[in-house]
Amino acid sequence: MYAMEKLRTLLIDDNADHLNLLEKLLSAHSEIDIVEKTTDPTKVVEKTINHKPDLLFLDIEMPVKSGFEVIEELTEAKLQSEIIFVTSHDEYAIKAFEYAAFDYLVKPIDPERLKQCIKRIKEPKHRIFHNKVQKLQDTYNKLIYKSINGYTLIEPDDIVYIKADGNYSIIQLTNDRKDTFSLSVGEIENDLNENFFRTHRSLIINLKKLYKVNTKKRECILRDLENEYICKITKDRIQELLRIMR
């Protein structure tokens, strides 16, 4: 299906207004051929059999059947289409990938984000990502977070520190790499193991990268290859850190 000039597309959302808005946004993309749209999730399998779509834009929270239940029905029927979940709730992101979704869009849909999604789905390389995300997580215990450009898989040992930036978090990685994610430091902390330590309400460090603790300046010096990073630590956390290190 990837060699086709147009992508036969089925739209599913229980909210007719959202459905019409999505249709309008997709009308700007000549490579998309909307074969049908529906507000009834119970009809998806039937419509998929009839239209054989290449692509489904599927809402997650719907009455009677959720988007995840629809995917399970499609799988049981051995029907294969690329899935792009569309929802108002960002917390479903990880579960969306567990169901082998190609991508995940949050309402209100950003036209530029939609454009990037459609561009990627036309590239053959997306299939590797689509099929291997869960395997990568299971095999290498990687973290997966939403960044500005999509989703990023992170090896925990590659993290140097995590710092809050308003409603976002900046993760400093090895080799002086850095990325920004739409999660709080606290949310990321829940995914981390005992190798990480919160030195401040807005800062978490990787203890494997800890080189020195300056108790007078209340600083932790982290080292990664030839790079050094200075991170603040509060007075009460210094004692806890020293206790752990002992």
What are 175-219's pLDDT values in tens digits? 889 999 988 999 899 888 889 999 999 999 999 999 999 999 999
Do residues 103 and 26 share a domain?
yes
Do residues 21 and 69 share a domain?
yes
On the question of pLDDT at 141 being above 90, the answer is no
Domain that holds residue 197: 156-245
Residues 168, 187: Cα–Cα separation, whole Å: 11
Q: Which of 14-18, 188-192, 241-245 bottoms out in mean pLDDT, i.e. has the lowest?
A: 241-245
On the question of pLDDT at 99 being above 90, the answer is no
Residues 186, 154: Cα–Cα separation, whole Å: 17
Residue at token pair 């507000």: 39
More confident residue, 47 or 136: 47
Residues 205, 195: Cα–Cα separation, whole Å: 9
Do residues 31 and 126 share a domain?
yes
Quote the percentage of the chain above a pLDDT of 70: 84
Of these ranges, 32-36, 81-85, 105-109, 120-124, the one predicted with the greatest mean pLDDT is: 32-36
Do residues 17 and 107 share a domain?
yes
Q: Which of 6-10, 77-81, 120-124 bottoms out in mean pLDDT, i.e. has the lowest?
A: 120-124
On the question of pLDDT at 10 being above 50, the answer is yes
Place 133 in a pLDDT band, splitting at 50, 70 and 90.
very low
pLDDT in tens, 34-68: 999 999 999 999 999 999 998 999 998 898 888 88
Do residues 40 and 133 share a domain?
yes
Task: Work out how many domains the chain is built from and give that number.
Answer: 2
Bridge partner residues of 229 (DSSP): 222
Mean pLDDT of the chain: 84
Report the CATH number that the domain containing residue 230 is assigned in CATH.
2.40.50.1020
236, exposed or middle or buried, with CB in 10 Å at 0-12, 13-18, 19+? exposed
